[in-house]
């Protein structure tokens, strides 16, 4: 072997060793830790969503007297403090009159849409300033709808319980494209995708989502952070694709975001029947 070939071989060896130490190899399952709840705080997959919908509320710890607390040893105090933190961090949201009113109106619209004909269904938008509880109202709507839906329409075949998916929840990100939007929906459903998405066309992906939504009885799509949409270019394309999905899939689409009236979601004519008709602005209520 000549000097040039030996040098190249040496460089390849060093690169291989460097990649071995720097390349990240994630595990397939979450690493389990003692004392930490593994319940997900984001719901990008159907199994995470179901964990949220059907998880039991945190148990409220018994409140000791001040003297009892002082008499405890360090370990018992720490265990009690941890249980209090867990309860306050994961307790169920407070059901306010605003939430009740919004849910009542939207659930009535969803119920009407399930019985509706062809074409886009009327949807809804939960608008408002940050930290007013838009996401909480949105996901609690999905949770309530899914539980009620399963009670009202029992499965003829109980073995298909895991195949029923009445609700889809996704969060928009910056630089979302129509194809990455479909990819997010497909990942929520668990639709197998090729490792290289160039091997599947956008139309094929959209058609797969439409079939999946119909087959698995999805009647509610929850789209969070809709304010990520602008009014031009790629964002306008995502807006058009969302409205296309609203026409293709017989489901109600409910959006949540900040100052939504300035987003691409309302860029069409006011009488365009693909636009959501029901809007609540939490900023005016708070």
Q: Which of 58, 90, 122 represents a domain boundary (last residue)?
A: 90
Domain endpoint, select from 90, 112, 146: 90
Average pLDDT, the chain: 81
* Same-domain pairing of 213 and 134: yes
Within a domain: residue 268? Answer: yes
Q: Is residue 7 part of a domain?
A: no
pLDDT at 285: 47
Average pLDDT over residues 112-122: 80
Lowest mean pLDDT segment, chosen from 21-30, 136-145, 236-245, 258-267: 21-30
pLDDT confidence of residue 161: 92
pLDDT tens by residue, 50-59: 988 988 777 8
The pLDDT of residue 234: 62
Whether residue 26 is contained in a domain is answered as no
Q: What's the domain range around 144?
A: 97-285
Residue 151 lies in a domain: yes
Same domain? 126 vs 194: yes
Helices (H), the chain: 3-22, 46-54, 66-71, 74-90, 97-114, 134-152, 178-189, 202-215, 233-248, 282-285
- 24: in domain: no
pLDDT (0 to 100) of residue 202? 84
What is the predicted pLDDT for the residue at 228? 83
Bridge partner residues of 223 (DSSP) = 170, 255
Q: Which of 89-93, 160-164, 201-205 has the lowest mean pLDDT?
A: 89-93
Same domain, 135 and 227: yes
Average pLDDT over residues 79-84: 89
Confidence of residue 282 (pLDDT cuts 50, 70, 90): low
Q: For residues 168-175, give the mean pLDDT.
A: 90
**Which pLDDT score, from 0 to 100, does residue 94 have?**
84
In the prediction, which pLDDT does 196 show?
73
Q: Is the pLDDT of residue 139 over 90?
A: yes
Percent of the chain predicted with pLDDT > 70: 75
Same domain, 268 and 226: yes
Q: Which of 8-17, 89-98, 162-171, 241-250 has the highest mean pLDDT?
A: 162-171
Q: Please answer whether residues 268 and 115 qualify as being in contact, where contact means their C-beta atoms are separated by less than 8 angstroms.
A: no
Q: Are residues 85 and 104 in the same domain?
A: no
Residue 216 lies in a domain: yes
Cα first-last separation, the chain: 77
The whole-number pLDDT of residue 4 equals 63
For residue 19, the model assigns a pLDDT of 47
Looking at the structure, tell me whether residues 82 and 104 fall in a common domain. no
Select from 61, 90, 119 the last residue of a domain.
90
pLDDT bin (cut points 50, 70, 90) of residue 31 is: confident
pLDDT at residue 270 above 60? no
- Give me the percent of the chain exceeding a pLDDT of 90: 41
Using alpha carbons, list the distances in angstroms from residue 66 to 61, 74, 135.
15, 15, 37
Does 40 map to a domain? no
Domain assignment of residue 167, yes or no: yes
């Amino acid at each position: 072997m000549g000097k040039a070939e030996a040098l190249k071989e040496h460089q390849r060896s060093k690169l291989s060793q460097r990649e071995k130490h720097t390349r990240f190899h994630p595990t397939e399952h979450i690493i389990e830790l003692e004392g930490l709840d593994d319940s997900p705080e984001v719901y990008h997959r159907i199994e995470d969503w179901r964990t949220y919908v059907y998880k039991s509320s945190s148990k409220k710890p018994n409140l000791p007297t001040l003297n009892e607390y002082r008499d405890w040893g360090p370990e018992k105090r720490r265990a009690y403090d941890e249980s209090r933190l867990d309860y306050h961090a994961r307790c169920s949201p407070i059901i306010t009159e605003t939430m009740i009113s919004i849910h009542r109106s939207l659930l009535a619209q969803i119920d009407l849409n399930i019985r509706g004909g062809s074409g886009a269904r009327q949807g809804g938008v939960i608008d408002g300033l940050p930290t007013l509880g838009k996401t909480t109202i949105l996901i609690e709507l999905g949770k309530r709808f899914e539980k009620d839906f399963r009670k009202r329409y029992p499965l003829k075949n109980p073995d298909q319980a895991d195949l029923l998916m009445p609700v889809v929840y996704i969060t928009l990100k910056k630089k979302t494209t129509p194809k990455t939007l479909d990819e997010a929906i497909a990942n929520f459903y668990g639709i197998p995708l090729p490792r290289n998405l160039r091997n599947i066309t956008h139309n094929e992906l959209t058609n797969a989502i439409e079939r999946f939504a119909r087959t698995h009885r999805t009647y509610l799509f929850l789209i969070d952070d809709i304010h990520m949409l602008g009014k031009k270019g790629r964002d306008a394309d995502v807006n058009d694709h969302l409205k296309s999905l609203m026409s293709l899939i017989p489901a109600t689409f409910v959006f949540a975001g900040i100052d939504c009236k300035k987003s691409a979601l309302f860029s069409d004519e006011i009488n365009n029947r693909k636009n959501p008709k029901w809007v609540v602005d939490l900023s005016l209520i708070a």
